[in-house]
Structure 1
C-alpha cells in the first residue's frame, strides 16, 4: 500500500517535444542555411564576386542621395597632396595656406552658401584626406559653407579630415566611383602640387575634356614653377604626344586670389550668374 504523502515516481527519459518544437528542430538546418538569409542582410552574398556591380551602384546611389538632399548643384574640385603640412618644410606651408584661402574665397563668392531657392553651387569638393584636401575643406568651413570629402579606403587607412561637412563625408571602396563623383558635378578644377594620386586625377579630367567625354571646365594648376618642373608640357608637344592647343585646357596661378580670378575669366558661373542649363545637371562622365 502506498503512503499517500509519498512522491509518485516520474517516468525517466527526455520530455516529449510539442508539435511546434518538433517542427522547429526538424527544419533547423534549413533556417540556418546561408541561402535562407534575406539577400539584403546577407553580407557574405553582398560582398561576393557576383554582386560587384550592385556594390558599385550602391556607392553611386548613397553619395548621390546625400548630395541631392543638400541641394548641391555643382562643385569646385580641389586636388593636391595628402603629404602637405600646415607647418611643413619648403613651400608646403604656403601651399596649405593658399588652399585654405581658396576654399574660403570660393565658398564665400561662388554660391555654396545657398541662393534664394536654397540651391548650392560651386561647393568645395576634395578627396577628404589630410594636406591640401584638409586645407580646402577648412577654408570652406571657415566661410560657413558646407564642403565635400570623397574619401577612399586604402591599405593604410585614410581617415577623413576634421573640416569636411559630416553629412557630406563619404567613403568609397572603388576608385572609379569616387572619380565619377568628383567629376560629375565639377564646374571647375584647382590642382595644387601633388604626387601620383594628384597626377592621376588631373590627367583623368584633362583626358575627359580632350576627348570630348565631358564638357571643358576651367582648370587651374597652382604654382607654375612646380608644375613646369615635374611635367614638361613643351616636350609632349615636340614629340607629338599632345597638340599645341591642348595646353589651353588649363592655366597657372600662384595665389588663391589669382586662381579665383582666372576661374571667373575662364567662364565659371557664380551665384546670380549661373547658366541653369549647365549647373542643374551633372557632367556626363
Structure 2
C-alpha cells in the first residue's frame, strides 16, 4: 500500500460477512435446511400467481409415460397420436380457447416432459390453445417439451408441490400408458376421489388392455382392499373421442364462465 492508497474502510469485515447480505440475496441462506418451508411457499406462490395472471381458471390433466415417441415401436405411435388428438379435442370443446383477455377453462396441463405429455400439449397448441407444463428437476435433467406455452412452463424441485399444482385446479384426468411415475400420480388422484377430498373428478384410463394387464383392479376388490364401488371412480377409453365422451358422461362441466365463484373458491 502506497501513501496515496487509502486504507480499507474500518467496516470491511462487517460488510463482507454473510450475515450482512440481504436475506433475498443470500443463496446459501435460502437453500439451507431451515428455509425448506420458505422454498415450499415460493414454489407454490410463483406458479399460482402466474397462472392467475394468465387467467387459467381450470385444467384437464394428462398423465402418461415420458418414454413413448411419435415414431417409436409397437403401440407408441398410436398412444402418441391419440394423446395429441385428445389435446386438440379437449382444447376446442372445453373452453381453453377464448377472446384475448378472457378466462381459460379446462386447459391441458401435464408434467411438461416428452412422450404423452408432449403429445397432449402439441395437440392443444395446434388449435391455438395454451398448454401448461409442470416440470421437475431430476438427476438426469428433464427438459421441457417445445409445445408448452413458454409463460406457463414451470420448474419444480419438490415433487409434492408439483403434484399439488397438478391436482388443485384440475377438473378431469386422462391417464395414458405409463410406468412408476404415471401410476404414482394416478393413484394419488384416485385416493383423493376415494377419500372424498375431491368430490367430483372424472378420470379416464386410456387403452383398457394396457391398464387391465398391469393392474388387476378386480383382484383389489376380491381381496377386500377396495370396494366394488371404487371401480366406478374411473372409466376406460381406447380413442381420443371416447375419452372426451367419458369425461362428459362422468360430469365434466363445459358450461364455462357460469361457475367462476366456485372455481375461485376451489383454487
Is 1:85 the counterpart of 2:73? The answer is no
Count of residue pairs brought into register by the alignment: 267
Q: Would you say the 8 A contact 2:105–2:256 is kept in 1?
A: no
- 1:215 deviates by 2.4
Q: Deviations over 1:124-173 (max 9, x none)?
A: 00000000000000000001000100000000000000000000000000
TM-score, length-scaled by structure 2: 0.96
Which position in structure 2 is the counterpart of 1:15? 3
Which position in structure 2 is the counterpart of 1:134? 118
Q: Distance in 1 between matches of 2:231 and 2:139?
A: 35
Gap runs ≥5 in structure 2: none
Gap runs ≥5 in structure 1: 1-12
- 1:213 deviates by 1.8
Which position in structure 2 is the counterpart of 1:229? 213
- 1:277 deviates by 4.6
Which position in structure 1 is the counterpart of 2:152? 168
Residue pairs, 1:19-168, within 5 angstroms: 21-22=6-7, 24-114=8-98, 118-168=102-152
Q: Deviations over 1:69-90 (max 9, x none)?
A: 1100100000000001001111
SS in structure 2 at match of 1:148: strand
Q: Would you say the 8 A contact 1:137–1:148 is kept in 2?
A: yes
- 1:34 deviates by 0.5
- 1:16 deviates by 6.3
Which position in structure 2 is the counterpart of 1:215? 199
SS in structure 2 at match of 1:151: strand
- 1:281 deviates by 3.3
Q: Distance in 1 between matches of 2:57 and 2:255?
A: 11
C-alpha distance 272-125 of structure 1, shift in aligned 2 (>3 A): closer
Whichever of the two has the greater Rg, that structure is: 1
C-alpha distance 272-158 of structure 1, shift in aligned 2 (>3 A): closer
- 1:198 deviates by 0.1
Is 1:245 the counterpart of 2:233? The answer is no
Which position in structure 1 is the counterpart of 2:173? 189
- 1:216 deviates by 2.6
Moved more, 61-70 or 268-277: 268-277
- 1:270 deviates by 1.1
- 1:238 deviates by 0.5
Q: Would you say the 8 A contact 1:152–1:175 is kept in 2?
A: yes
Which position in structure 2 is the counterpart of 1:278? 262
Q: Distance in 2 between matches of 1:16 and 1:80?
A: 70
TM-score, length-scaled by structure 1: 0.90
Q: Would you say the 8 A contact 1:149–1:169 is kept in 2?
A: yes
